[in-house]
Amino acid sequence: MDLLKVENLSKSFGALWAVNNVSFTVGEGEIVGLIGPNGSGKSTVFQLITGLLRANKGRISYDGKDITGFKPYQISRSGIARTFQIVRPFPEMTTLKNVMVGRAFGSSSARSMKETEDEARRLLDLTGLTDKMSATAGHLGLIYRKKLELARALATKPKLLLLDEVMAGLNPTEMMETVEFLKTVRNSGVTMIVVEHVIKALFSMTDRVVVLNAGEKIAEGMPQEISRNEEVIKVYLGDYEHA
């Protein structure tokens, strides 16, 4: 069953079409990769799905409902969450309180402050941030801010999670730990779309991959199919296996 359906999605900025007539689906329980060169439209697609931008044309359906034109808070409450390539914690708040914000204002708000805090503590433990619970978010290192971004997104209780370069800046060990963690998240019932330039890591966890170039979809298929696609190799992948 399709959880998300994007149909003929287009967005222009003046004369530039950042996304042009893009269509794809995401089945419930899938991890779908979204890849392409810088400027290919990946982050714009995320902005359109989450309501931060409005499409010029096209339709977005989620869980059987048309959510085209919904405001970001409506989309969050419907069960869609995202992380950002440039992490955006509330810098003056503690790590714990950052996650509590997500739990309090997500798709299924907690019934009490105690429940909110208990759930936030569980997510901090799950993402390896327990010892940073009282730290001010603005003083965390990059790896910890990325973990916080993920914990805060999960705190909203999403059915669909959009991840924007969550592995950028991580070392190989941290990347593999993140891959295994995301597989665990999927097994808990969360569907994912992942934008990532670390191709080996992305291909190791995705069921399908959608490829964009210059705002248009140029390929879609299983990772092994995409890795052999001549057009994708030419415009993006190159000799990634030996990179």
Question: How far is residue 236's CA from residue 232's CA, in Å, rounded to a whole number?
Answer: 6
Q: What digits encode the pLDDT tens for the residues 62-100? A: 999 999 999 998 999 899 999 987 888 889 999 999 999
> Is residue 202 in some structural domain?
no
Strands 57-62, 65-66: pairing is: antiparallel
Question: Would you state the torsion angle of the CA atoms of residues 74, 75, 79, 82, taken in this order, to the nearest 10 degrees?
Answer: -130
Structural contact between residues 176 and 19, judged by C-beta atoms closer than 8 angstroms: no
Structural contact between residues 4 and 60, judged by C-beta atoms closer than 8 angstroms: yes
> Is residue 129 in some structural domain?
yes
> Is residue 162 in some structural domain?
no
For residue 109, what pLDDT band results from cuts at 50, 70 and 90? low
Q: What is the DSSP letter of 123?
A: H
Number of domains, the chain? 1
Percent of the chain with pLDDT over 90: 63
Tokens of 149: 């971004």
> Is residue 145 in some structural domain?
yes
Kind plus residue range of the DSSP H or E element containing 202: helix 199-203
For residue 37, what pLDDT band results from cuts at 50, 70 and 90? very high
> Is residue 119 in some structural domain?
yes
> Is residue 189 in some structural domain?
no
> Is residue 48 in some structural domain?
no
Question: Average of pLDDT values for 159-178?
Answer: 89
Instruction: Tell me the residue range of the domain where 131 lies.
Output: 93-156
**DSSP, residue by residue, 169-188:** T--HHHHHHHHHHHHHHHHT
Strands 160-164, 80-82: pairing is: parallel
> Is residue 42 in some structural domain?
no
Tokens of 157: 């209780």
Kind plus residue range of the DSSP H or E element containing 145: helix 142-155
pLDDT at res. 159: 95
